[in-house]
């Protein structure tokens, strides 16, 4: 069997891919065919595609098929795109990498992945008006860890100030593509919040996503990181890109009835291919015994101060928990989306503002499909977690 991914992505389409994939029992052969180029995607869609690739690799055998010809341009275009680079590095030690004629092209792609690694290391000549800061933990530390989030080598920083250079460079790189659509001063009001969120979310992947739910063995392949993108457009166009999602449309149009108004938003998506919130928190290898309400209840606990305050895997550092992310996102009047396990949930901090609490039941999380706060749709199960936050800049 094969699954062929089209160029244009939507959240609904990616969920359809999961349903198609999971008609197969685990460990059977399912080839994954990726397009050479993915069309410019909306909020959170490229990290969502990366999560799908991780889920395929973790649960199925099969070849990664790249429909490139013999030209340098096509091969470079794939390897130097974010989905292409991620797929190649994740599949490198796990799955055969072939072209659409079935010819192994792993070695031919090596020079181009090295080129992309260099571009990412210097944040230079990056594609798609965005910045990816990836880590691939199944390689040696020198290749695995981005110096942008591991400036001290293999140890994760103790303070968010150590990631200030990474955030500053990422935002400066993104703004360069927009030729004055917005400037650094526009970001200053939310910069402290963005830095805190960036630090806490990436640290969370360092502490919780590297090993299996029982914390006994390292997972491979393992991909995690951060994705930044600046989105600009009219309220009308942004609303159309929201795929009819009422929560997103309300977020984009809040306090502005002029559909021609140009607005700017910063996206930060942090992704990993670990066990996901529920399996890791409850140290379980299966979600079969959990209702959807129980799954979301566990995610609420992870977002409540105190519940995730446990020793970090590497250094015994006490985490401040994802409660801090909600608090900082509240200051920025941002939007939160989480896809993990069988749950897909969101929260608009403009409509549902942060309230300090130690009672996890009080943490508001809405079902992505319906907006309900007490009933949650069962989605196809995914590996890891993708947390996407969106903050308005004007």
Mean pLDDT of the chain: 89
- Residue 140: its pLDDT value, please? 87
pTM for this prediction: 0.93
| Domain residue limits, the chain | 1-118, 129-394
CA–centroid distance for 157 within its chain: 21
**Which tokens go with 366?**
């809405």
Query: Quick one: how many helices (H) and strands (E) in the chain?
Result: 13, 11
Per the model's pLDDT, the better-predicted residue between 263 and 137 turns out to be 137
pLDDT at 367 over 90: yes
How open is the CA angle 139-28-15, to the nearest 5 degrees?
80
Higher pLDDT, 186 or 384: 384
pLDDT > 60? residue 295: yes
- 3-17, 260-274, 376-390: which range is least confident on average? 260-274
Phi, psi of 31 (to 5 degrees): -80, 145
Each residue of 154-166: pLDDT tens digit?
899 999 999 999 9
Segment 112-118 shows an average pLDDT of 96
29 neighbors 61 (Cβ within 8 angstroms):
yes
Instruction: Note the pLDDT of residue 312.
Output: 39
How does pLDDT run across 322-351, given as a tens digit for each residue?
888 999 899 888 999 999 999 999 999 999
Rounded Cα–Cα distance for residues 57 and 60 (Å): 6
Our measurement of the distance from residue 294's CA atom to the centroid of its chain's CA atoms, rounded to an integer in Å, reads 23
User: Long-range contact list for 100-107, CB < 8 A, 24+ apart?
Assistant: 100/33, 100/65, 100/66, 100/67, 100/68, 105/66, 105/68, 105/75
Q: Which two tokens stand for residue 69?
A: 């010809």
- 347-356 pLDDT, tens per residue? 999 999 999 8
What pLDDT shows up at residue 306? 67
Residues 6+ apart with CB under 8 A from 211: 217, 218, 219, 274, 275, 313
Residue 7: band (very low, low, confident or very high) from pLDDT cuts 50, 70, 90: very high
Q: Does pLDDT of 283 surpass 90? A: yes
Of 202, 201, 222, nearest to 211 by C-alpha is: 222
CA 324 vs CA 157, 194, 268, 317, 331: distances in Å:
17, 11, 16, 16, 11
């Amino acid at each position: 069997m094969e699954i062929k991914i089209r160029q244009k992505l939507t959240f609904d389409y990616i969920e359809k891919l999961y349903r198609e994939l999971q008609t197969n029992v685990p460990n059977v052969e399912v080839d994954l065919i990726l397009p050479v180029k993915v069309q410019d995607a909306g909020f959170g869609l490229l990290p969502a595609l990366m999560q799908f690739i991780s889920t395929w690799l973790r649960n199925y055998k099969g070849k990664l098929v790249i429909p490139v010809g013999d030209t340098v341009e096509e091969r470079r275009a794939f390897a130097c795109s974010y989905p292409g680079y991620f797929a190649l590095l994740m599949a490198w030690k796990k799955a055969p990498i072939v072209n659409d004629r079935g010819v192994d092209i792993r070695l031919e792609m090596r020079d181009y992945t090295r080129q992309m690694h260099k571009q990412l290391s210097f944040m230079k000549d990056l594609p798609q008006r965005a910045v990816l800061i990836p880590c691939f933990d199944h390689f040696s530390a020198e290749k695995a860890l981005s110096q942008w989030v591991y400036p001290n080598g293999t140890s994760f920083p103790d303070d968010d100030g150590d990631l200030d250079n990474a955030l500053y460079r990422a935002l400066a790189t993104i703004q360069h593509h927009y030729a004055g659509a917005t400037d650094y001063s526009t970001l200053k009001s939310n910069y402290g919040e963005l830095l805190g969120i960036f630090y806490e979310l990436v640290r969370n992947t360092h502490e919780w996503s590297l090993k299996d739910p029982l914390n006994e063995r390292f997972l491979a392949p393992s991909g995690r990181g951060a994705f930044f993108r600046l989105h600009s457009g009219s309220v009308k166009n942004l609303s159309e890109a929201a795929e009819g999602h009422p929560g997103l449309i309300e977020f984009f149009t809040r306090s502005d009835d002029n559909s021609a108004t140009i607005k700017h938003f910063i996206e930060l998506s942090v992704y990993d291919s670990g066990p996901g919130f529920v399996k890791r928190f409850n140290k379980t290898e299966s979600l079969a015994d959990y209702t959807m309400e129980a799954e979301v209840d566990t995610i609420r606990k992870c977002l409540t101060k105190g519940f995730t305050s446990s020793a970090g895997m590497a250094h015994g550092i006490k985490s401040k928990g994802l409660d801090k992310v909600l608090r900082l996102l509240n200051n920025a009047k941002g939007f939160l989306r989480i896809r993990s396990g069988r749950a897909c949930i969101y929260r608009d901090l403009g409509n549902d503002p942060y309230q300090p609490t130690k009672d996890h039941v009080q943490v508001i999380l809405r079902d992505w499909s319906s907006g309900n706060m007490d009933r949650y749709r069962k989605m196809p199960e995914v590996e890891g977690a993708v947390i996407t936050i969106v903050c308005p800049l004007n």
